[in-house]
Structure formats: structure tokens, C-alpha cells
Amino acid sequence: MSLKLEKTLVILKPDALQRNLLGEIIARFEKKGLKIVGLKMIELEDVLLDEHYGHYKDKPFFAGLKNYMKSSPVIVMALEGIEIVEAVRLLVGPTKGRIADAGSIRGDYSMSVQTNIIHASDSSANAEAEIKRFFKDDELFNYKKIDFEFLYGDEERSELV
Ligand code: IDP
Ligand code: MG
């Protein structure tokens, strides 16, 4: 079996910023062993949100969702690791914070369906599209990180393509 290093996109939403949780959440990703390959603060605009949440454009909550996402800057991050899309979704928890498992980011910090602290890509294909949507090529970094040999076992490292 071959394994691939993949990337996923995370957005720390306005409630994470307003509630002083940015450092705490980034620390969780670092401690898990996820490599940060892109990170910046941006203000989201309608064009980007219409694309990013396009699947919800006919929902009654769409306007409110956009206003919330524009209410302060957000942090966008590109993270890299083996099977990382699934790993990050597990760290994040399900959409509705109040039923998310304790220990997950939403389980620990959110009581809401809408203000649920964080976005994470839900598939490899979406992760690729979302990283393109939010980062230019020269905002993504390729560098050696010294913990790699301890984060993954020899079998996993040798199966990497
Ligand atoms: P996800 O963030 O867990 O992947 P999605 O279904 O992709 O959940 O929804 C995207 C975002 O839209 C959610 O994280 C949440 O902020 C918002 N959202 C989803 N469903 C509702 C709703 O019923 N009411 C208000 N906001 C919602
Ligand atoms: Mg989603």
C-alpha cells in the first residue's frame, strides 16, 4: 500500500479570534504533528464566500453565515500530513458544537451549529480546491521539519510516494 502526504485547509473563524482561541487551536495542530505549510490572516469577501459556501446559497441561513464569516478577519491555514483530511476532521468534530465529542475542537469550544470555531476540508478533492481558493502558490512553503522521523514509523515513511 502506498501513502501520500496530503494537504488540508483550515479556517479559524471569527468566533475563534474574538474568543481568544487562535493560539490554543494552532497549538493543538502543532502538538498533533501536523506541518503548517501556509498561514495568514485575511478578511473574507462575498465572492470568496459565495464559492466556499456555494452549496448553501439557497438556505435561509446563508446571509447570516456570510455576515458571521465577514465579522472579523479569519486565519487560514494549510496543513500537511499523511491522511490529514480525515485526521483534521476528527480533531475538529461534527458541525454542531454542542453534540461534538469532548476533546474535539468544536466539542471543547462551541455550543453552536453556525458559530463553530473552525472550518476543515471534508475530502481530498475539496481540500485541493480550497487550498487553491485561499492561497497563492508562493504562499505555500516546502521545507524540512525535524520531527518527521518520529511522527511517522519507518513503514509509513517508506510507503510514501
Ligand atoms: P462543516 O463545517 O462541519 O463541514 P457544513 O455542513 O459544510 O459543515 O457547513 C458549513 C458551515 O455552515 C458550518 O460549519 C456552519 O458554520 C454553517 N452551517 C451549517 N449548517 C448550518 C445551519 O443549519 N445553520 C446555520 N449555519 C450552518
Ligand atoms: Mg463543510
Give the CATH number, domain containing residue 54: 3.30.70.141
Q: What are the tens digits of pLDDT across the range 134-149?
A: 999 999 999 999 999 9
Percent of the chain with pLDDT over 90: 98
CA 59 to ligand 2 center in whole angstroms: 14
Type of residue at 135: F
Q: What confidence tier does 11 reach under pLDDT thresholds 50, 70, 90?
A: very high
Q: Whose C-alpha lies nearest to ligand 1, atom 9?
A: 95
Strand order through the sheet with 74-82: 35-42, 74-82, 5-12, 118-120
Query: Active-site residues: which are they?
Result: 119
pLDDT of 1 > 80? The answer is: no
Is residue 160 domain-resident?
no
Is residue 40 domain-resident?
yes
Q: What are the tens digits of pLDDT across the range 82-134?
A: 999 999 999 999 999 999 999 999 999 999 999 999 999 999 999 999 999 99
What is the rounded distance in angstroms from the CA atom of residue 89 to the CA atom of residue 95? Answer: 10
CA 95 to ligand 1 center in whole angstroms: 6
pLDDT of 47 > 90? The answer is: yes
What is the CB < 6 Å shell around ligand 1?
61, 65, 95, 113-114, 116, 119, 122
The pLDDT, as a whole number, for residue 161 is: 84
Domain that holds residue 69: 5-138
* Average pLDDT value for residue range 37-49: 98
Which ligand is the nearest neighbour of the Cα of 56? 1
Cell of 131: 487550498
Query: Which positions ≥6 away from 112 have C-beta within 8 Å?
Result: 96, 97, 98
The pLDDT, as a whole number, for residue 100 is: 98
* Average pLDDT value for residue range 30-39: 98
In the predicted model, what is the mean pLDDT of the chain? 97
Is residue 9 domain-resident?
yes
Is residue 147 domain-resident?
no
Which ligand is the nearest neighbour of the Cα of 126? 2
Degrees to nearest 5, angle at CA 102 with 88 and 87 = 15
The pLDDT, as a whole number, for residue 132 is: 98
Q: 128-160: string of b/e by CB count within 10 Å (b at 16+)?
A: bebbeebbeeeeeeeeeeeeeeeebeeeeeeee
Is residue 84 domain-resident?
yes
**How many domains is the chain partitioned into structurally?**
1
CA 119 to ligand 2 center in whole angstroms: 7
> 84-92 and 22-32 are packed helices; what angle lies between their axes, rounded to 10 degrees?
140
Q: pTM for the complete prediction?
A: 0.97
The pLDDT, as a whole number, for residue 90 is: 98
